[in-house]
Structure 1
Amino acid sequence: MSASPVKIAIAGSSGRMGRMLIEAVLNAPDCQLSGALDQPSSPALGSDPAAFLGKSSGLTITADLRQGLAGADVLIDFTRPEGTLAHLAVCAELGVKVVIGTTGFDAQQKAQIGSHAARTGVMMAPNMSVGVNVVLGLLDRAARALSEGFDIEIIEAHHRHKVDAPSGTALAMGEAVAQALGRDLKTCAVYGREGVTGERDPSTIGFATVRGGDIIGDHTVLFAGIGERIEISHKASSRATFAQGSLRAARFLATQAPGLYDMNDVLGLR
């Protein structure tokens, strides 16, 4: 006898990532779309969330959070920090688990997420790509081996619509490198250079941000030494990679106790 499908609600369902998630859920035999949420100002309210695929899901997009979460096992949320926190508060009350792909949280907001995770399962990662999470492990190893004589710079590029910078993934890469080196990213990160900056401080980790066109997400960590450079890169060509990683996270989370998890837990990389 097969297991029951994981019932998944999608936040931001009429956005670019929301539609990719809906398509992934509808195509996954072990998952079921249970609800579709969007903001009150969305022109998509009242329409079928699968209409863009020429399909009928039997659901309608709603701004009523409790209606959209009815019957859901897991909510997948790639929206904005304030919206995600509002969704999470209700999910914690209802016992709905949450996969958070939203980025741009500050320290206080992250603390709120941790508090809600005491009541329901939360899987939070700055990037849902399986490849990116493998790269984070490679960066730890590289940083330890290249701790002396190499300057470290992180370059990221995204589409023109992205609202936060550096990206959550770039910051996660910086954290992985800083932790491996025994540094605090808050004190060693350099986010911009202009004018006469003086020589580069070898203890810093630099960030450069590019925004333009429809770039899905490119990240490179550059270890620059004397006479050689090492570059560890990940380039996403489709949001489908984030959607598939999110479904893996939802499947994992559906069987877990309350707590805060990340992609290392999902992929068994601990």
Structure 2
Amino acid sequence: MTRIGILGSEGRMGRAIAAAIAESDASHAGGVDASGDAMTLAERCDVLVDFTAPAALSANLDAAEAKGCAIVIGTTGLSADDHARIDAAAKRIAVLQTGNTSLGVVMLCALVEKAAAALGKDWDVEIAEMHHRMKVDAPSGTALMLGEAAAKGHGDSLDAVRVSGRDGHTGARETGTIGFSALRGGTVAGDHMVVFAGEGERIELTHRAEDRAIFARGAVRAALWLHDRVPGRYTMNQVLGM
């Protein structure tokens, strides 16, 4: 039985993951929060699931590496340095990092990439997202995943075509760019919409998260899949066999 430990166990996602483990074939090996000892937790785990904060990432990876424990990282708002640290850890342990563990979002990303490739840059791409008032990063990790999927479909790097937070006299929209807008309020678990706007017609691909449990179930499924994988960096697409 796969032993799963939760980093960030007292947060909303941590509690949801504990409930999802209880409904699965996995074993809940315990959890730690901000003041807890990740190293001790890693000693009794096969896989760690990390939904903490970027500031905790390095220490969590240190614990996983020291104990040879695989890790699923669902923390968002990561920097280029954070991703470099994940790449380094993936040389020693199995790491799955994602901006969203929802299986529906993984499928949406695949549809967005396919649509962007088929429609081309003549169709403008805009991504809108809304989350609860407590979310601290914007655009969301999921919105960035969707943007990366669209950029890949266009054969571009997202960094080269991303436009965020338009304000004031911005001028006409530049062909091939991918726009982002973020809304915050209430208790919204996560809504995302990708708009493909052409001449005289529009396609809208939407995912609405109605319950945080969908992310928790996806995280547990990812942890079960990651157990016993060789060192490397993995994605949710691979969990779904895509």
TM-score with structure 1 setting the length: 0.87
Pick aligned residue for 1:25 from 18, 21, 27? 21
Could you say which structure has the greater relative contact order, defined with CA pairs below 8 angstroms and 6 or more residues apart?
A: 2
Q: What is aligned with 2:12?
A: 16
Q: CA RMSD in A?
A: 1.0
Matches within 5 A, 1:52-71: 63-71=36-44
Please tell me whether the aligned partners of residues 42 and 63 of structure 2 are also in contact (alpha carbons under 8 angstroms). Answer: no
Which of 124, 140, 162 lines up with 2:97 in the alignment?
Answer: 124
Structure 2 counterpart of 1:138, from 93, 103, 111:
111
Which 4+ stretches in 1 moved above 3 angstroms?
none
Partner of 2:49: 76
Alignment match, 2:238: 265
Q: Which residue of 2 aligns with 1:234?
A: 207
Judge which range, 167-176 or 143-152, deviates more.
143-152
Aligned residue for 2:33?
Answer: 38
Higher Cα Rg, which structure: 1
How far apart are the structure 2 equivalents of 1:133 and 1:25? 21
SS in 1 for 2:128: strand
The gaps in structure 2 that reach 5 residues or longer are none
TM-aligned CA deviation for residue 82 of structure 1: 1.8
Query: Which amino acid counterpart does residue 108 of structure 1 have in structure 2?
Result: D
Deviation, structure 1 residue 184? 2.1
Question: Which amino acid in structure 1 is aligned with residue 118 of structure 2?
Answer: A
What is the rounded CA distance, in whole Å, between the counterparts of 2:223 and 2:142 in structure 1? 20
One-letter code of the match for 2:7?
Answer: A
Q: Work out the number of aligned pairs and report it.
A: 242
In the alignment, the residues of structure 2 paired with residue 236 and residue 173 of structure 1 have an alpha-carbon distance, to the nearest angstrom, of 15
SS in 2 for 1:145: helix
- Contact 1:34–1:69 under 8 Å retained in 2: no
CA displacement 1:143-184 (0-9 Å, x = unmatched): 012114311100011111111100011011111111111222
Give 1:67 shift. Answer: 2.3
Q: How does 1:64-213 map to 2 (within 5 A)?
A: 64-213=37-186
Contact 1:8/1:75 (<8 A) preserved: yes
**Partners of 2:156 and 2:39 in 1: how far apart?**
43
SS in 1 for 2:86: helix
| Amino acid paired to 1:251 | L
Q: What TM-score do the two structures reach when normalised by structure 2?
A: 0.97
**Shift of residue 138, structure 1, vs aligned partner:** 0.5
**Which sections of structure 1, spanning at least 5 residues, go unmatched?**
41-62
Give yes or no for contact 2:71–2:96 (8 Å, CA) kept in 1.
Answer: yes
Match of 1:7 in 2: 3
